Structure 1
Amino acid sequence: MKNWKNHLLVLILVVVAEAIGVMKFKFGPGTIVLLPMLYALIMGVFLSPKFLKVVNDKDMKDAGSLITISLMLLMARYGTTIGPTLPTIIKSSPALILQEFGNLGTVFIGVPLAVMLGLKRETIGAAHSIAREPNIALISDIYGLDGEEGQGVMGVYISGTVIGTVFFGLLASFFAAYTPLHPYSLAMASGVGSASMMTAAVGSLSAMYPEMQETLTAFGAASNMLSGLDGLYMCLWLSLPATEWLYKRCYRLKYGVEAPKVKQRSKSNPSKGV
């Protein structure tokens, strides 16, 4: 209770968001589902120093330190849904593990696009993954968050937090309505390492397939948990080196010169960025 104002504001936002409840809109054969967490997120944005100035920079820094704890509670809740469907999840384990190769998709699509838009070393942090908490830690350890790579990963992290929840909810509904993909596969695909994005996508799928709600939630939660476990190693050993390699080639194609070499963060002086 060090910062009582933050706790009070969170309580008010949660009460208001829950009072609004889940809103569903028909979109062709699909359904757009807006969850209370989205309302809380939007209201929180407007309380920031850039808008209504209800909170200051110190309040935001204090709140940021609680994100991991809050997500632990959410994932503990999802963990209770995994147990009853564990046999089904075990049968699908190869698919859950192989989906981590999807990290490479962000590299081969994101890097050329970022370089074309004029980004430099920010491309490395922005396009090596979907930039959630483990990826921020990885970039911070290798390059430092005060460098260009750190700016890139933080930019995508913030954009994903604000836009990603809505995008994932819409994307899940679209694919469920217009493609032959099974709802279970879509639930697996929603577990990219972000609890909020996964919740939005599974919420949309559950609204369309209420009879599958428990299994969909279990698949999404299990997939998200595995993404947090092996996704970091996938980024470290595959996607980050691939990002560096592709960035250098895209940079040469665009500017006609070799990309400037940047030293990685010094292990002997971890406080110094690049």
Structure 2
Amino acid sequence: MLKQIPEYLKDWRLHGIVLLIVLLAESIGPFSFEVGAGMILILPMIYAFILGVAAVFTPVIKEKQFKHSEILTTALIGLLVAKVSLNIGPALSMIVQVGPAILLQEIGNLGTVLLGLPLALLLGVKREAIGMTFSIAREGSLAIINDKFGFNSPETRGVFSIYLFGSIFGAVFFGLTASFLATFTPLNPLALAMASGVGSASMMAASSGSLSAVYPEMAAEIQSLASASMILSVATGFFVSIFIALPLAEKMYNLFTSRKSNKEVETNEQTEEKKEANQ
């Protein structure tokens, strides 16, 4: 019977290390501290990531554990897709009631592609830029990229890097931005509350918390709209990422890199011609 069990499921060393890391991370719990009007929230996931990286440099982790962890991670991301789907289903009726406004809000998030991808390429980032810029890189984005490109792809490395960066600094950015817009612009606080729901619970909480501090008399409405917007963004964002944002990011990457390659070829040809002329 045991012979029929896949080797990666019998890797008790890997399972034991993962269990120990999870227990340590959960025992520490979340940690937060304020930065101006924003707040930095350190989740147990960050501790788990650091402990996992540290474990790689110990003799406990061998090449076999690397191979088995890749298989298990791919399988577990399938469960993540199922979890995201469970959140999307109940929100479909709400999406129909809200109408096109929420869809237009989600399409506005394409700014991550239109602005972020060219900047990433200017900074010298390669195909990682696709994973880094096609969304704000939350859980659903991890599932989409891993399913299309595979766990060891540069696109997956890109989306994981932004996922971790956003988990640490995203809430701070949203909290400070919401506070600034509420204080120095004439934008309606309820519109800002709707904009808080980009699909991340921590970012939404930081943004709506800052807005509630500026407009305490509207705190209940702000929290309600922000929460509803977040649920809808998770649902609509999944489809926008698959059918619009990711294809757009790939096409833009191919367009920019092909132009760069053509310029390099032209430059090399001109250099060769000058050398021949000088000879």
> Which of residues 28, 36, 39 is equivalent to 1:34?
39
> Which of residues 5, 26, 40 is equivalent to 1:10?
26
**Aligned twin of 2:9:** none
The alpha-carbon distance between structure 1 residues 133 and 42, as it changes in their structure 2 partners (threshold 3 A), is closer
SS of 1:252's equivalent in the other structure is: helix
**Aligned twin of 1:200:** 206
Give 2:26's aligned amino acid. Answer: V
Q: Distance in 2 between matches of 1:47 and 1:119?
A: 24
Cα-to-partner distance string for 1:181-217 (whole Å, 9 max, x where unaligned)? 1111111111111111111111111111111111111
TM-score under structure 1 normalisation? 0.67
Q: Distance in 1 between matches of 2:210 and 2:157?
A: 32
| 1:251 aligned onto 2:257 | yes
- How far is the alpha carbon of 1:134 from its aligned partner? 0.6
Give 2:194's aligned amino acid. Answer: M
- Are the aligned partners of 2:130 and 2:246 in contact in 1 as well (CA < 8 Å)? yes
Give 1:196's aligned amino acid. Answer: S
> Which of residues 107, 112, 115 is equivalent to 2:121?
115
Q: Distance in 2 between matches of 1:196 and 1:146?
A: 28
- Are the aligned partners of 1:139 and 1:153 in contact in 2 as well (CA < 8 Å)? yes
Cα-to-partner distance string for 1:121-153 (whole Å, 9 max, x where unaligned)? 111111111111111111111111211111111
SS of 2:186's equivalent in the other structure is: coil
| 1:209 aligned onto 2:225 | no
**Aligned twin of 2:187:** 181
Q: How many residues were matched structurally?
A: 224
- How far is the alpha carbon of 1:221 from its aligned partner? 1.0
From the two aligned structures, give the one with the greater helix fraction: 2
TM-score under structure 2 normalisation? 0.66
- Are the aligned partners of 2:25 and 2:45 in contact in 1 as well (CA < 8 Å)? no
Cα-to-partner distance string for 1:4-57 (whole Å, 9 max, x where unaligned)? 77456535545xx5xx8x7584xxxxxx1437xx25579948974678x9xx99
Matches within 5 A, 1:122-201: 122-201=128-207
The alpha-carbon distance between structure 1 residues 119 and 137, as it changes in their structure 2 partners (threshold 3 A), is same
Q: Distance in 2 between matches of 1:226 and 1:173?
A: 23
| 1:240 aligned onto 2:246 | yes
SS of 2:255's equivalent in the other structure is: helix
Q: Give RMSD over aligned pairs.
A: 3.8
**Aligned twin of 1:97:** 103
Q: Distance in 1 between matches of 2:160 and 2:45?
A: 19
Q: Distance in 1 between matches of 2:123 and 2:250?
A: 17
Q: Distance in 2 between matches of 1:138 and 1:39?
A: 25
Q: Distance in 1 between matches of 2:123 and 2:242?
A: 25
- Are the aligned partners of 2:182 and 2:189 in contact in 1 as well (CA < 8 Å)? yes
**Aligned twin of 1:264:** none
Q: Distance in 2 between matches of 1:157 and 1:130?
A: 8
Q: Percent identity?
A: 40
SS of 1:193's equivalent in the other structure is: coil
The alpha-carbon distance between structure 1 residues 43 and 5, as it changes in their structure 2 partners (threshold 3 A), is closer
Q: Distance in 2 between matches of 1:252 and 1:151?
A: 22
Q: Distance in 2 between matches of 1:236 and 1:90?
A: 20
Matches within 5 A, 1:45-56: 48=51
Structure 2: give runs of 5+ residues left out of the alignment: 1-15, 265-279
- How far is the alpha carbon of 1:256 from its aligned partner? 2.4
Regions of 4+ moved over 2 Å: 2-14, 22-25, 39-51, 89-97, 252-258
The alpha-carbon distance between structure 1 residues 237 and 184, as it changes in their structure 2 partners (threshold 3 A), is same
Structure 1: give runs of 5+ residues left out of the alignment: 26-31, 80-86, 259-274
The alpha-carbon distance between structure 1 residues 23 and 164, as it changes in their structure 2 partners (threshold 3 A), is closer
SS of 1:227's equivalent in the other structure is: helix
